Amino acid sequence: MKLNLISLVFLSVILFSCSNDDSGPDYNPTEVGLEVPEIFDLLLPDPLIPANNPQTVEGIALGRKLFYEPLLSGDGTQACADCHFAENAFTDPDRFSTGIDGLIGDRNAMPVFNVAWNFNEKFFWDGRALSVEDQAFGPVVNLIEMNNTWPNAVASLQATDNYPDLFLDAFGTATIDSVLVTKAIAQFERTLISGNSRFDKHLLGEITLTDSELNGFNVFMDETKGDCFHCHGSDANPLWTDNIFHNNGLDTSFEDIGLGKVTNDPLDHGKFKSPSLRNLAYSAPYMHDGRFATLDDVINHYSEGLVWSYTIDPLMKTFAEGGVHLSPEDKADLKAFLLSLSEPEFTTNPDFQDPN
């Protein structure tokens, strides 16, 4: 009897060990690291990967499929990728994106790349999402965008032939839920890494930039000229953004108060996140509301178009004169430098395209 009791306990432990794992015996995802660009490895802290959502081959593949999956929308017609186009560095060439019901948003879709190096972990133009996963929750239920409910989106995926098995492979359960959907999308989005532009190659000593590009970089770094680096990084910061929120002198008053709506602080009114300057060749229009169609418009804004408002960033120091009044040559060179931060291969990377 004593022996049998021990055996029973032993078997129970084994049974418990097995039954305590929802993933089942076939759950064996392959963990994989991010492909960190050499220039990031040299200059930046390690990317942020949450402990509860490690990168796996299966999770990334599922996330990629979901990113291009219209079933996430209320009428099954719109995917994340319909506002975040790979050829546009995962932003929308339209100033405002159009949702499934024809409703139009009021901000330009943010480009999606290098999100694992957003050390502030504040996403969207106004910082209202606090992780990549958190960000992915929003658009599905946004009334203007995908106008769905998460239960409905999950039910649509659950009813397919393939998704339950893909979730089983990625997360060890065939029972789909919104948390797992956003985890998978976040894993895919973390692989959208851009760090191999002409300027990166220049920093690594692989190519030489043109004189115009080099002078443009000096304009960018010169506090008395462009003074772009305080918000948009430098040769020490290959993200080309500080991921912080600024009022960059666009308006004298605000219809969209940006960060202020999130923090409920009037001193944050009119502040929006600095976007990265990578891939500007593909990501027009520019600014949170896409008001500038061209890069020339953007440069002209900082050169002659600044206006005062009560939360304007002190770095917009020449607002009283409208800006720093760059010479035509400096403007052209600055533009040439900015375009050297674009990476054509990022927009055509086969690993980032529609797998469906």
Partner 1 sequence: MKNIALLLILAIAFVGCNDDDDSPSNVVMSINLSQNWDETNVTAADFGTTEFTNQNGEVLKISKLRYLISKVTLYNSYGDAIELPGYNLVDISDDNTLSFTKNAVFPPGTYTRISFVYGFNEEDNIDNAYEDLNIDWAWPDMLGGGYHFMQQEGTFKDPNGDPQPYAYHNGTARVSEGVFEQNFITVDIDLEDYSINDNAIIDIKMNIAEWFKNPNTWDLNVFSGGLMGNYDAQIDMNQNGQNVFSVDVAIVEE
> Which parts of this chain interact with partner 1 (CB under 8 A)?
42-45, 119, 218, 221-224, 227, 229-231, 233-237, 239, 242-244, 267, 308, 310-320
For partner 1, the closer CB: 285 or 323:
323
Q: Given the complex with partner 1, which of 98 and 263 has the nearer CB atom?
A: 263
* Cβ-based nearer residue to partner 1, 205 or 350: 205
Amino acid letter, residue 64: R
First to last CA, the chain: 59
List Cα–Cα distances, 300 to 182, 214, 292, in angstroms. 39, 20, 10
The residue among 230 and 291 lying less far from partner 1, judged by its C-beta, is: 230
- Least Å from the CB of residue 44 to partner 1: 6
R_g over Cα of the chain = 23
Cβ-contact 96, 290 below 8 angstroms: yes
Q: Which amino acid is at 286?
A: Y
Tell me the HSE value of 242 on the side-chain side, using a 13 A CA sphere: 11
Min CB(331)–partner 1 separation in Å: 19
Shortest Å, Cβ 43 to partner 1: 5
Structure tokens at 125: 């133009």
Look at the chain and count its residues. Answer: 356
Task: Please state the closest distance from residue 45 (CB atom) to partner 1, in A.
Answer: 5
**Which one, 139 or 226, has the nearer CB to partner 1?**
226
Q: Cβ 177 to partner 1, closest distance in Å?
A: 34
**How many Cβ atoms sit within 10 Å of the Cβ of residue 77?**
12
Contacts of 36 (CB under 8 A, 6+ apart): 47, 193, 195
Task: Report the residue number, 142 or 309, with the smaller CB distance to partner 1.
Answer: 309
CB 50 within 8 A of CB 130: no
- Shortest distance (Å) from residue 214 CB to partner 1: 12
